[in-house]
Structure 1
């Protein structure tokens, strides 16, 4: 059955992890484009602030305080959505966190909690959302990572959780297609994104963590998510480095191992002591911020991602640029 996509201005959209980072950037952009929103996270203060801001600007939004590691909480998000809007068209599973440290140093309790949020949160959200979307049609969007395809040292269990998300999302998509269900399923795979993600992570290192470059602005991921809400995309890589790492790992895995072994450890450490080593693994922390405090350069756009989502437009731009260059060269020769 063909999936029918409504314009964003006619959609009801559920976003988990909506109090900061990618989730918040997506919520703000979706609201500006007319979507009605249900925002979920653990931080009620941040959710209330964001919801009030959206309403003050003429948008429609409600929030639900929820821990996605609890199926009951995720079901409450769906129930509240149905109470308020009677339906939803797109469900975005964005909530996630990380742990920085060597695998052998991290407690089992912390490892399990990370999987509860990152993996089981997406499982609960996906299965609950699909129960509705199979009947009414719509889109499920799960946030993976470059780490869905590549393992990164010092974030080993995070990488494992993102690998698991990819396997689950791919299997769910296949089952839905086999049933001819009117549901589009997209996995988003961002590269390093400048959000409060490192600050929220549980940190076992003696240094403040950071993301390996290149680092991109959160709005690039928000744009990819909202594109998937209106187009049938299987996977979207945000940032050329995400696609590059994935491709290298598939074709020359030992080369990627060498890169990770020799570069990735130092590239994930800042030259300062940890500021918040406990992080928000078990308790919601500060929210309300889209951007992190990446000390290096942050790329505003990813030409690779934009080209992959708009190949005809990009081709026209490239062709136009080539013609303009040829004309300019002709004038110079004349």
Structure 2
């Protein structure tokens, strides 16, 4: 019996989400590539609370077989698409096979997961774990950014279909900021320095709480952290300025002070790394345990209302100033009684 399914749940944000769902009393089915980390995840939780199956989420057939072993007796009510991979490398230097693999894992993994969720679920919640980079691209991660943009479009199309066909099945996007996860230790790296999350950096538990917020409120989209708010709304207002700024420091801000040779040689792009799973990474800077987490639709209404109010106030100010100028420019007239 499985209450929830998490794809990519043995490390990073996915691991934090699994822990949070188990803490709520759910039995969670977890699918990932690394068999050793799946075994470790089962040992880390009370017996029977974790069900596992090994598959590459980018392989639709393998994922179908893995899911079948977890939902044979009951359909889940929560499904979280969380698997991802990336490479820190300029696009011109990124091999075709690496680009394709990132897209297959990070985007098509969510597509494959959603297809299977729809095959088994009539009600409940499907959550897509996205990124603020889905709104504001950064250099050095073209494939990952493309995948996160694609998730937004895919989720929007499917959501509208579900609203018509299955109104009790809710689809959410959770857009994350930089997180302290093993991603930066395990990702393929072509930089001269070891990569790091660009500050501000948040603990993976922040992401897990945001996923729960989306589920509890059946929210369309959740924005996590002030940095994501700045990415979303800043790009709406000043995209050219941000392009120029990122052209100067966009890659540098993703570099740590450790040379690339200090990072482990193996990465997890084409195969899982043989290292224990953990929600957190090895970032040694400030990691925030909490973040401003908002309903994206409500935030847009507030911003739009603020713009309208500002425009109205500016119009009133201009009108008042113009009226005063007209009054002072009128010719002085002597009262009739004094003529």
Q: TM-score, normalised by structure 1?
A: 0.84
Q: Is residue 2:243 matched to residue 1:254?
A: no
CA distance, structure 2, for counterparts of residue 111 and residue 277 of structure 1: 19
Between stretches 229-238 and 18-27, larger displacement belongs to: 229-238
CA distance, structure 1, for counterparts of residue 161 and residue 233 of structure 2: 26
Q: Is residue 2:58 matched to residue 1:72?
A: no
- Report the equivalent of 1:125: 113
- 1:224-270 deviation line (CA, Å, top 9, x unaligned): 11222222111111111011111111122112213322332211111
Unaligned runs of 5+ in 2: 299-339
- Report the equivalent of 1:86: 74
2:2–2:29 contact (8 Å) kept in structure 1: no
- Report the equivalent of 1:105: 93
Structure 1 residue 277: Cα displacement:
5.1
- Report the equivalent of 1:63: 52
Q: Is residue 2:282 matched to residue 1:293?
A: yes
Q: Is residue 2:23 matched to residue 1:41?
A: no
- 1:76-116 deviation line (CA, Å, top 9, x unaligned): 23211222x42111110000011101100010010001111
Unaligned runs of 5+ in 1: 1-9, 312-334
Q: How many residues align?
A: 294
1:96–1:117 contact (8 Å) kept in structure 2: yes
Q: 1:31 aligns with which of 22, 47, 57?
A: 22
Please tell me whether Structure 1 or Structure 2 has the larger radius of gyration of its CA atoms. 2
- Report the equivalent of 1:268: 254
Structure 1 residue 179: Cα displacement:
2.5
Tell me, what secondary structure is at the counterpart of 1:34?
Answer: coil
Tell me, what secondary structure is at the counterpart of 2:52?
Answer: strand
Structure 1 residue 73: Cα displacement:
2.0
Q: 1:242 aligns with which of 228, 240, 262?
A: 228
CA distance, structure 2, for counterparts of residue 163 and residue 68 of structure 1: 18
Structure 1 residue 296: Cα displacement:
1.6
Structure 1 residue 156: Cα displacement:
1.4
Q: TM-score, normalised by structure 2?
A: 0.83
Structure 1 residue 39: Cα displacement:
0.9
- Report the equivalent of 2:11: 20
